[in-house]
């Protein structure tokens, strides 16, 4: 047998029996104290009778503590549950002594089995006092030793309710913690000004710069279950102004075995500060939708495409085709899938603009569901390269959509953007034209065409979050184009869930949009990211306003002028009802646009785009000259 393993076992169980031994010793000592108190601190009782009663009390104590398993608790982590166990164990012991006394009186067994009722009650009280006191004394001593008597800062707990008390117990119960709980914050006026566990309850308004500096407040733990996301954003932004670190207690369902551990209290993430509830979709029909099906994902190496692919990899599909022109990104996804044991997938290097290559792939693999995520998405780059925007975003979509009809694909799910709504730039307009072309194919063949339209995705490549992180790593400043600019945000996981749900929900021709709550000010997002990085604004890192980029709006929209929505069975997903348009005329214009040559002047290309999308009004762009005739 492994000696090291045997040593660990001995150590593990020795500590438990040591706790039991100490508890039993306390019970024996308190018996003498109970008699002394009962006889007014005079030795006017038979000491030898008490000595003979000690083994009886010890045996009853051992049985009681084994029954409640109080000896299995780790003393240095003593908390509320341990206290309850001690109280229950002490009461069981007292009950046993009463039963022993009752049995002796009835059957006259022996004098040592007769305990005075007063002694039993005093003994019970002393046991509770000494057993709890001993454990908390050892816990306090251990904590003082390992922390070297140093307190690194003061903590406030936001929430003076049940969850707040559990957070208090978790922090206080962690011997490695070097933070002191200063008090509570609460929104309930009835609690403000009162004390809980001898600690003051404050209102948020009382937490000022002067208060923070005076009391050396370093962090606030938000411990409110199901807190409104908008309120969380308000609280966090308020506290960040005073350079206070903010942490949050997770939902109770994620606690380990129903207990809150201090390690589960995490710092607020940027995803928590969207000002709305996370969008969760749970639909068992999805399994049937993708079961034994060949699925094609274009743009699979991109942020959205790769996340869609990851979510699809958990289903029982027949084959998953991952298509992209980005060799490195596709290779990384392939290696990730291999590491995770994903089967029945195949990476394909191909360009959606290459009709012959795409046609060959459709012929060879015969996919039944297509997720079309391949696109150029950077606004400033596409403003300077409208030809490329047309070729990839419009013509690439046209090629894949046409092949879907030709090969009888069941469903074609197109990934669009909120920038397609009342576009002010080439990129957004190109995506709107792609939406229009997809709509033109409704009813053509058996293919159901579905469009998903959503806002900016947190953490996607080229998005503002990775940019801010890089700027923070480089020491700043963070660059924001306009102090009032706002955007809708969602997580990559939310965006991917919408796409998969749309594939099941859609019956063909719909444009699905999210109820994404309020849009977020990018300036506030930048400030929050600075604080979440443990830095101060503007002392450590500043924010620089650079001015709107060509084609950039101050705010985005999810619905165009004249559009409205129809509810679905999910309260966060709606169907946009678009304005009617001339399908054949629009289709002819799109085909003509796809035939432009690379040598065609940018102004000519953008003029054709504006002809198809009349609501496309350029902003802060050289193409504004084309809008003069519209005024």
- Please report whether residue 477 resides in a domain: no
pLDDT at 12: 46
**Whether residue 608 lies in the annotated active site:** no
Per DSSP, 256 falls in state B
300 and 402 part of one domain? yes
140 and 157 part of one domain? no
Burial zone of 606 (CB within 10 Å; 0-12 exposed, 13-18 middle, 19+ buried): buried
439 and 404 part of one domain? yes
Residue spans of beta strands (DSSP E) within 367-498: 369-372, 411-415, 448-453, 456-458, 478-480, 486-487, 489-491
Token pair of 621 as six digits: 């762009």
Which H/E stretch holds residue 322?
A: strand 319-324
pLDDT at 229: 72
Distance CA 113, CA 513 (A): 78
290 and 399 part of one domain? yes
- Please report whether residue 482 resides in a domain: no
What φ, ψ does residue 376 adopt, rounded to 5°? -90, 135
Q: Which mean pLDDT values do the consecutive 10-residue runs of the chain (631 residues) have?
A: 44 61 83 84 78 82 78 58 78 84 78 78 84 73 56 82 82 70 90 86 92 90 80 83 83 57 69 65 72 95 92 92 95 94 95 97 96 93 95 97 96 91 93 95 90 74 76 88 82 80 80 74 85 80 88 66 62 76 92 89 94 92 83 55
425 and 355 part of one domain? yes
123 and 196 part of one domain? no
173 and 109 part of one domain? no
Last residue of one domain, picked from the residues 123, 145, 167: 145
Token pair of 583 as six digits: 């399908």
259 and 136 part of one domain? no
pLDDT at 14: 45
Distance CA 316, CA 523 (A): 44
Distance CA 305, CA 212 (A): 45
Measured on CA atoms in the order 453, 457, 462, 463, is the torsion positive or negative? positive
What φ, ψ does residue 137 adopt, rounded to 5°? -65, -45
0.85 exceeded by pTM:
no
pLDDT at 465: 75
What φ, ψ does residue 253 adopt, rounded to 5°? -70, -15
121 and 162 part of one domain? no
SS (H, E, C) 168-201: HHHHHCCCCCCEEEEEEECCCCCCCCCEECCEEE
Whether the CB-CB separation of 170 and 58 falls below 8 Å is answered with no
Burial zone of 408 (CB within 10 Å; 0-12 exposed, 13-18 middle, 19+ buried): exposed
- Please report whether residue 535 resides in a domain: no
Q: Which structural domain range is residue 114 located in?
A: 3-145
CATH number of the domain within which 189 lies: 3.40.50.720
- Please report whether residue 417 resides in a domain: yes
pLDDT at 1: 43
What's the domain count of the chain?
3
- Please report whether residue 344 resides in a domain: yes
> Of 245, 368, 411, 419, which is the active-site residue?
419
Distance CA 322, CA 252 (A): 38
pLDDT at 611: 94
């Amino acid at each position: 047998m492994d000696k090291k393993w045997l040593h660990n076992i001995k150590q593990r169980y020795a500590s438990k029996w040591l706790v039991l031994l100490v508890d039993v010793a306390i019970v024996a000592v308190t018996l003498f104290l109970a008699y002394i108190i009962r006889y007014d601190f005079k030795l006017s009782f038979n000491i030898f009778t008490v000595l003979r009663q000690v083994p009886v009390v010890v045996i009853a104590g051992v049985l009681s503590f084994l029954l409640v398993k109080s000896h299995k608790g780790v003393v240095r982590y003593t908390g509320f549950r341990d206290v309850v166990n001690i109280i229950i164990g002490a009461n069981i012991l007292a009950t046993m002594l009463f039963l022993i006394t009752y049995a002796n009186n009835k059957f006259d067994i022996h004098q040592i089995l007769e305990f005075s009722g007063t002694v039993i009650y005093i003994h019970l009280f002393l046991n509770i006092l000494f057993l709890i006191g001993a454990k908390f004394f050892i816990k306090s001593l251990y904590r003082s030793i390992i922390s070297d008597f140093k307190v690194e800062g003061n903590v406030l707990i936001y929430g003076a309710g049940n969850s707040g008390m559990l957070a208090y117990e978790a922090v206080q119960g962690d011997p490695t913690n070097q933070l002191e709980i200063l008090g509570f914050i609460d929104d309930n006026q009835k609690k403000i000004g009162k004390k809980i566990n001898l600690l003051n309850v404050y209102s948020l308004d009382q937490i000022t710069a002067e208060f923070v500096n005076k009391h050396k407040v370093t962090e606030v733990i938000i411990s409110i279950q199901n807190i409104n996301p908008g309120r969380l954003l308000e609280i966090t932004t308020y506290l960040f102004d005073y350079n206070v670190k903010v942490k949050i207690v997770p939902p109770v369902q994620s606690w380990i075995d129903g207990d809150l551990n201090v390690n589960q209290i995490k710092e607020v993430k940027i995803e928590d500060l969207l000002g709305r509830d996370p969008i969760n979709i749970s639909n068992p029909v999805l399994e049937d939708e993708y079961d034994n099906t060949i699925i094609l994902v274009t743009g699979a190496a991109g942020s959205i495409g790769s996340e869609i692919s990851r979510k699809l990899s958990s289903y029982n599909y027949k084959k998953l085709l991952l298509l992209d022109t980005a060799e490195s990104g596709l290779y990384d996804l392939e290696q990730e899938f291999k590491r995770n044991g994903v089967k029945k997938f195949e990476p394909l290097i191909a360009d959606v603009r290459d009709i012959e290559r795409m046609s060959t792939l459709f012929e060879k693999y015969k996919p039944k569901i297509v997720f079309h995520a391949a696109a150029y998405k950077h606004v400033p780059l596409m403003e300077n390269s409208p030809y490329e925007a047309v070729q990839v975003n419009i013509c690439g979509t046209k090629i894949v959509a046409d092949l879907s009809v030709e090969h009888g694909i069941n469903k074609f799910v197109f990934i669009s953007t909120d920038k397609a709504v009342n576009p002010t730039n080439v990129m957004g307009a190109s995506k709107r034209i792609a939406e229009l072309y997809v709509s033109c194919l409704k009813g053509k063949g058996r293919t159901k065409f579905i469009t998903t339209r959503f806002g900016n995705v947190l953490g996607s490549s080229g998005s503002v979050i990775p940019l801010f992180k890089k700027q923070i790593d480089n020491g700043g400043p963070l660059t924001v184009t306009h102090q009032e600019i706002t955007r809708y945000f969602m997580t990559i996981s939310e965006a991917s869930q919408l796409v998969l749900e749309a594939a099941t929900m859609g019956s063909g021709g719909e444009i699905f949009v999210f109820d994404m709550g309020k849009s977020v000010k990018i300036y506030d997002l930048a400030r929050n990211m600075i604080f979440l990085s443990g830095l101060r604004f503007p002392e450590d890192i500043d924010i620089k306003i650079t001015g709107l980029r060509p084609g950039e709006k101050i705010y985005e929209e999810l619905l165009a002028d004249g559009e409205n929505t129809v509810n679905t069975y999910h309260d966060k997903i709606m169907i946009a009802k678009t304005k009617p348009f001339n399908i054949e005329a629009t289709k002819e214009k799109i085909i003509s646009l796809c035939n432009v040559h690379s040598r065609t002047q940018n102004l000519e290309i953008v003029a054709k785009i504006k002809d198809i999308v009349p609501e496309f009004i350029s902003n802060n762009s050289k193409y504004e000259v084309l809008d003069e005739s519209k005024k």
